A and B are shown apart, each in its own frame.
Chain A
Amino acid sequence: MPIQTAADSISNSAGSPYGFKNRIINGAMAIDQRYAGTASASSLSGYLIDRWTIAQSTTGKLIAQQNAGSVTPPTGFTNYLGVTSQSAYTAGTNDYYAIIQTIEGYNIADLGWGTANAKTATLSFWVRSSLTGTFGATINNGGSRSYPITYTISAANTWEYKTITIPGDTSGSWGSTNGVGVQVWFSLGVGSTYGGTSGVWSSTNYVGVASTVSVVGTNGATFYITGVQLEKGSQATAFDYRDYGTELQLCMRYFQLLGSGGACGVAESATRASLTYVFPVPMRAAATGTLNAANGFLNQPQGGPNAITSMTGFFYGNGSTTTISGGWLVIDVASVLTTGKVIINSGSQGMVQFSAEL
């Protein structure tokens, strides 16, 4: 009689209870490095809380925020992502409004999508809206393959749990390295160009479903979501609670702040300092850097602290392409440095934010 091991019980086509079950990062909406819980501007069409994007084909229609509206999250969760409509807007033909997560190819390669061995996946989430009816969502590859799906919210302002099974796509080209793998779109309003038919794989880049509820269509309408999980297999299983440190590290592959003590160097001149840094977590790609001077600052510890907050710009000093593990920053300041003094950054929120998002 053969001995059955734990590994035997995990079919290659089913989900695994071990390891990276949930391919969504920050599905519990707990990590918000950019905004720390504050609301986005209605002009935002881009990343909000970690790994989640707000898409607005015409900005000004939505604001989003971690825990918007301060309602009680569903049992087992402490955070959610909330979106509020800013007007009663009728989506035009080419419009799209959505919450999106883009999953890196490395993290979905085992699904085998685009091959004859494509595996079934299941999307599950908690959702609450001031509106009821049939809502749209889509799984796509970021351009040429999409699977529009629908789900129903039955009661207004009530958390509801939804599960949707997605047959693996045996066609198309699906990323399997550090580029786009799978995108999950939760539609908040879509025009006819981007609204497809539910439950059918398509070679069109759909991001929603035609004739479904449009959140942007009602002024003040709300849409809250959390506990988002995409897993291999045809059954939704319990949410994969990863410890906070692990989840934060997963997020930092795509975005991180250069925190206190994260860089050290020397004053080159009265107006310029040169610092090196190493990322705590290697990033997905060489990162775009943006000065975050409102929160971060330099000081000169040699001979006593001398805080400097008047940073005016920076660039990567690397002679070759910046790496994913760290680099060399050259910071320009108004004119307070003493040449040769040691420089460190000591802003708790980081003087530079790095993005290697998809």
Chain B
Amino acid sequence: MYKHYPKYNGSELQCIKRLSDNACIPFDPANTDYQAYLKWLAEGNTPEPADE
């Protein structure tokens, strides 16, 4: 499961939170955790929205 971060200084962050360990995963195609996230998305899953 994943969750978006809130905007920071008005900008979208280039990372996603993995809820199992609160890891911050950067959007780098060479990062294996990001690869797993993309696979998870491709399986039809959707990350939780950011907190307000």
Interface centre among A178, A291, A322, by most chain B C-beta atoms within 10 angstroms, is A322
Query: Number of B residues whose C-beta is below 8 Å from A?
Result: 22
B43 at the interface (CB under 8 A from A): no
| Contact in complex: B22, A316 (CB < 8 Å) | no
Closest CB in chain B relative to A99 CB, distance in Å = 18
B41 at the interface (CB under 8 A from A): no
Interface readout for B26-45 with A: 1 if CB under 8 Å, 0 if not? Answer: 11101111100000000000
* Distance of A179 Cα from B21 Cα, bound (Å): 24
| Contact in complex: A316, B30 (CB < 8 Å) | no
Interface readout for A206-231 with B: 1 if CB under 8 Å, 0 if not? Answer: 00000000000000000000000000
Query: Number of A residues whose C-beta is below 8 Å from B?
Result: 25
Q: Which of A314, A330, A356 contacts B31 (CB 8 A)?
A: A356
| Contact in complex: A316, B11 (CB < 8 Å) | no
Interface majority SS (helix, strand, loop, mixed), chain B: mixed
- Point out the residues of chain A lying under 8 angstroms from B34, CB to CB: 288
| Contact in complex: A285, B30 (CB < 8 Å) | yes
| Contact in complex: A330, B23 (CB < 8 Å) | no
- Point out the residues of chain A lying under 8 angstroms from B13, CB to CB: 315-318
A-B contacts, CB under 8 A, total:
64
* Distance of A330 Cα from B8 Cα, bound (Å): 9
A4 at the interface (CB under 8 A from B): no
Q: Which of B8, B18, B28, B32 contacts A358 (CB 8 A)?
A: B32
- Point out the residues of chain A lying under 8 angstroms from B25, CB to CB: 288
A290 at the interface (CB under 8 A from B): yes
Q: Beyond A284-B30, A317-B9, A322-B26, list 19 extra A-B contacts (CB 8 Å).
A: A285-B30, A286-B26, A286-B28, A287-B31, A288-B34, A290-B23, A290-B24, A291-B22, A314-B24, A316-B13, A316-B26, A318-B13, A318-B14, A321-B26, A322-B14, A330-B8, A355-B33, A356-B30, A356-B31
29 contacts between A and B (CB under 8 A): A178-B30, A285-B30, A286-B26, A286-B30, A286-B31, A287-B26, A288-B23, A288-B25, A288-B26, A289-B24, A290-B21, A290-B22, A314-B24, A315-B5, A315-B8, A315-B15, A315-B17, A316-B14, A316-B15, A316-B24, A317-B8, A317-B9, A317-B13, A318-B14, A319-B14, A322-B14, A330-B8, A356-B31, A358-B32
**Which 3 A/B pairs are nearest by Cβ-Cβ distance?**
A286-B28, A285-B30, A286-B26
